Structure 1
Amino acid sequence: MAVERFPQKMTLKSWLALFILAISTFTIVTTELAPVGLLTPIAEGLQSSESAVGMTVSLYAWVGALSALFASVFLGNVSRKRLLLVLTVVLLISNIMAATVTSYSMLLSARVLGALAHGAFWAMIGATAVAIVPARYIGVATSIVFGGVSAASVFGVPVSNYIGIHFGWRQAFWMMAALSAIAFAGISVLIPHITSKSALGLDALKSVLRSSTLWKIYLATMLAVTAHFAAFTYIEPWLHTQSLLSNAFIPAVLFVYGISGLAGNFLTGVLIDKYLKLTVSMSVLLICAVLFFLGLSDSSLSTGLIFTGMIIWGVAVSGIFVGFQTWVLRMAEDKTFPASAIYVSFFNTAIGIGASVGAWMVSSFSLPLLYIVAATAIGLSVLLVAFIPATLSAKPFRMEKSYESS
């Protein structure tokens, strides 16, 4: 096998590799969130409570956050392709176990196993995307790969829910097992054997954490993602408060939000390589404006205004998710793996905090106040964004990496 520098131009195989990585992110996010739409049938099938089944989602997120850090310390010297294949097999086994369990404790074990693969996979996949494309395509690559997240929120969870209702919840996990197998086959054929010079171990993590620039990105991510999930977790109850919006239209509103997220991924991919800081800043400000609008409005908004607000929110949130991830990869230099691992940990932690803070505010205060506080929090993240450089000094972004052609 010949060892080459990273490619200077995109090829058909490069695009297909990004596509299979997008399928992989779709699979892992669908696996993570599927129980949300299957709480009742799983609880009935395993003679457990819905709250207990819901804990499998929370536990999955926390274990995933820890596994990302673990992977960057102990697994960084493993071939990227080999590690992705192993993690995909672990995810496949987890889904098969979940489809065949006979007790709640077995389901919990299956979910923990999947979460161990999830965090490491999530930390690895961004660095892998960067390694197989020229530097000028980093934003596009990140948009495509993490477009699987938006696709999962639009199609993955609803499809799992539909399968669970009409064919049984076990068949939903069998579907995710099949997607895991497809991802494994695609990675085997399309992903090159990447040899990275990325720094490894605890020293690499410490080095990343000494970067004031990366800390600003992590904290801005934490603030923005916490605010987003605190608000979005309770968007359905908020929609129910709107007297002019028929309940029958609520699924349509959420579907339009998801489609807008996919469109936002495409738009972000077009803009982000040239206008990274502007894209993130505008995305944050747009969501801030939408949340303030929803929080300060009364209960008689027109259907048109509601749809408009959700479209803007959906498009803008892609700029945040993809933008911060791209920023980390751009600023990490030779530490893409540990930098991504820490980012994944902050992101998953923010999801958990956002949902918890949202629950507390809704129970103790009110939905409108939740949206106003979330708008304020996400708006404050702009102050951090303002002090983050768009690039490393005045030099073009470069990364030490190579790959082995088969």
Structure 2
Amino acid sequence: MRAEDKDSPIRIWLAVIMLGIASFIMVTTEFAPIGLLSQIALDLGKDQAAVGLTMTLYAWIGAASGLLSAVLLQKFPRKPLLIVLMLVLSATNLAAMISHSFDGLLLARTVGAIVHGFFWAMAAAVASQIAPSHRMGVATAIVFGGISMATVVGVPLANLVGQASGWRTAFGSIGAVGLLTSVLMGVVLPKMQPGSPAGWRELGSVFRRPDLLGIYAVTAFMAAANFAAYTFIEPFLREVPNLPHVMIGALLFGFGGAGFLGNILTGLLIDRFMKSIITAGLVALCLALVGLGWFGPQLGTGRVLVLLVIWGAAIAALFAGLQTWILRAAGATVMSAAAIHSAVINSAIGFGAIFGARILTVSSVSGVMLAAGMVVIVPLLLILLQAAPRAAPKERGTF
């Protein structure tokens, strides 16, 4: 599924960057309720735990559609398909803006989740295949930089727009940016041939590979722990003593800024130090979440910010690192393996949101952070007890 013509290096990297921008819009759409949780709950007459569970609906539908994409979407040309997905996602944000009931919001996000799963199943794999093979890690990091930028700019900006003009304006703004992104994708993305339909047999062959299953297990526990905590980060920050509510957006900027820097460093180093980066990311994630949970908001603004920075850098490194590992290990089944990895991440987000909501019903937001930090011990043990691939670009990973 290489580009049809010989594009210049500048055109190729502009296309990869545009896929990163598209991923930013996708992830901002998914995570927008996190920065607007309290506002949505108050406006629609729901409690915070119920609104938090919209993350679960979004994630699980995205997981199912991502898995199906390997079978249903392979025969379609990649460029028009990606553009159409972005247009539909923009429409769902505008629909969320005008929703005046919780059911209306759920319907808009259901359609968005289907699009989200289709997009994420292809984006990183497409970027890795249009970029030079020895720069796969860099291309993957750029696309997954959309996650970091969504936390750097997307969620904090949604929070700030929500504080100033309401949560509906925040969703409308995301939709407008998505429409502009669709136009730019049409300009810079190269023409790409459709792939061969993977079929259920190829998906089954991926599930029978122990090395890939090991990576999926690490990803699942890591993502579930992260999003159990991240879903309720805004209520946690609201309990920091003497912190003005307008400063919540600034702290979220700190979290996302660290993620952006972590993503850049990962892109530079992942081709040489894959296992070390993933291991260090898990250790840092565990320590940050346990620290926030053990000491709680009473740590004060400065110490909370430090732990948020560690958390943000760690999770960015983990997402980019694990996705690169999958793409290297998959070999000829790269699209199917990437689709399953997307499904694993989205399923884990859903389970994480449910786990966090359950903990919140019996404990506090600090308890959610502590419990999530303890879960990170599981993937850390999996990494330490099993073998990981060396980072040679063409080497197939083992676990």
Return the TM-score normalized by structure 1.
0.84
Tell me the CA shift for residue 299 of structure 1: 7.2
Give the letter aligned to residue 142 of structure 1: T
Q: Distance in 2 between matches of 1:326 and 1:253?
A: 29
Q: 1:327-346 to 2 correspondence within 5 Å?
A: 327-346=325-344
**Unmatched tracts of structure 1, length 5 or more:** 399-406
Tell me the equivalent position of 2:93: 95
Cα pair 2:19 2:143 within 8 Å, conserved:
yes
Give 3-state SS (helix, strand or coil) of 1:340's partner: helix
1:254 and 2:252 aligned: yes
How far the C-alpha of 1:154 sits from its partner, in A, is: 2.5
CA pair 363-92 structure 1, distance change in 2 beyond 3 A:
closer
- Residues 224-373 of structure 1 aligned to structure 2 (within 5 Å): 224-236=222-234, 246-248=242-244, 251-297=249-295, 301=299, 304-365=302-363, 370-373=368-371
Q: Deviation per CA, 1:174-231: give whole Å up to 9, x if none.
A: 3222222222222212222223656602111101111111110111011111122223
Give the Å deviation of 1:370. 4.5
Distance 1:369 1:159 in 2: 27
Matched residue, 1:30 = 28
**Structure 1 residues 260 and 198: CA distance shift in structure 2, 3 A:** farther
- Equivalent residue, structure 2, for 1:203: 201
- Look up the match of 1:142: 140
- Equivalent residue in structure 2 for 1:376, among 374, 377, 383: 374
* Structure 1 segment 21-60 matched on structure 2, within 5 A: 21-38=19-36, 49=46, 56-60=54-58
**1:404 maps to what in 2?**
none
Give the drift of 1:360: 2.3
Identity within the alignment, %: 39
Report what 1:403 is aligned to: none
Whole-Å Cα distance in 1 between the matches of residues 329 and 211 of structure 2? 8
Q: Which runs of 5+ in 2 are unaligned?
A: none
Counterpart check, 1:217 vs 2:215: yes
Aligned length: 391
3-state DSSP of counterpart to 2:376: helix
**CA 1:388–1:38: 2 relative to 1, 3 Å:** same
Mark the CA change 1:106 to 1:366 in structure 2 (over 3 Å): closer, same or farther: closer
Which deviates the most, 343-352 or 33-42? Answer: 33-42
Equivalent position amino acid for 1:21 in 2: L
Partner of 1:77, secondary structure, is coil
* Residue-by-residue CA offset, 1:261-315 (whole Å, 9 max, x unaligned): 1111111111111111111111111222333444444876465543332222221
- 2-structure distance, mates of 1:353, 1:75: 26
The 1:36/1:379 distance shift into structure 2, 3 A limit, reads closer
Deviates more, 1:165-174 or 1:132-141: 165-174
Going from structure 1 to structure 2, the CA distance change for 1:165 and 1:297 (only over 3 Å counts) comes to: closer
For residues 113 and 304 of structure 1, do their structure 2 counterparts lie closer, same or farther at Cα, with a shift above 3 Å needed? closer
Change (3 A) 1:335 1:91: same
Find the aligned partners of 1:48 and 1:239 in 2 and give their Cα distance. Answer: 22
- Secondary structure (helix, strand or coil) at the match of 2:282 reads helix
**Residue 83 of structure 2 corresponds to which residue in structure 1?**
85
The amino acid across from 2:243 in the alignment is N
Equivalent residues of 1:60, 1:111 under 8 A apart: yes
Distance in 2, matches of 1:330 and 1:196, equals: 21
**What one-letter code is carried by the residue in structure 1 that aligns with 2:31?**
L
Between 1:103-112 and 1:281-290, the stretch displaced more is 103-112
- Report the alpha carbon displacement of residue 64 of structure 1 after superposing the two structures with TM: 1.1
Partners of 1:154 and 1:255 within 8 A in 2: yes
From 12, 17, 20, the equivalent of 1:14 is 12
Q: Secondary structure at the match of 1:247?
A: coil
For 1:7-42, what per-residue CA distance to the aligned partner results, in whole angstroms no more than 9, with x for missing partners? 8xx811122112211111111112223244445666
CA contact (8 A) 2:3 2:190 kept: no
**Any idea what SS the aligned residue of 1:389 has?**
coil
Counterparts of 1:336 and 1:179, CA distance in 2: 30
Hey, what does 2:179 align to over in structure 1?
Answer: 181
Do the aligned partners of 1:142 and 1:322 also contact (CA within 8 Å) in 2?
Answer: yes
Q: Given that residues 208 and 335 in structure 1 are in contact (C-alpha distance below 8 angstroms), is that contact kept between their aligned partners in structure 2? A: yes
How far apart, in 1, do the equivalents of 2:129 and 2:368 lie?
40
1:110 shift after superposition? 2.4
Partner of 1:389: 388
TM-superposed CA distance for 1:55, in Å, is 5.1
Q: For the Cα contact (< 8 Å) 1:330–1:391, is it kept in 2?
A: no
| Partner Cα separation in structure 2 for residue 258 and residue 22 of structure 1 | 15
Question: Structure 2 length normalisation: TM-score?
Answer: 0.86
How far 1:391 sits from its partner (Å)?
4.9
Determine the C-alpha separation between the residues in 2 that align with 1:365 and 1:107: 28
Kept in 2: contact 1:199–1:334 (CA 8 A): no
Shift of 1:316: 1.3
Distance in 2 of aligned mates of 1:342 and 1:118: 14
Structure whose alpha-carbon radius of gyration is higher: 1
Q: For the Cα contact (< 8 Å) 1:198–1:337, is it kept in 2?
A: no
Post-superposition offset of 1:237: 5.2
- Residues in 1 aligned to 2:38 and 2:393: alpha-carbon distance in whole angstroms: 54
Q: What is residue 63 of structure 2 aligned with on the other side? A: 65
Worse-superposed segment, 191-200 or 283-292? 191-200
C-alpha RMSD over aligned residues = 3.1
CA distance 1:66–1:395, shift in 2 (3 Å): closer
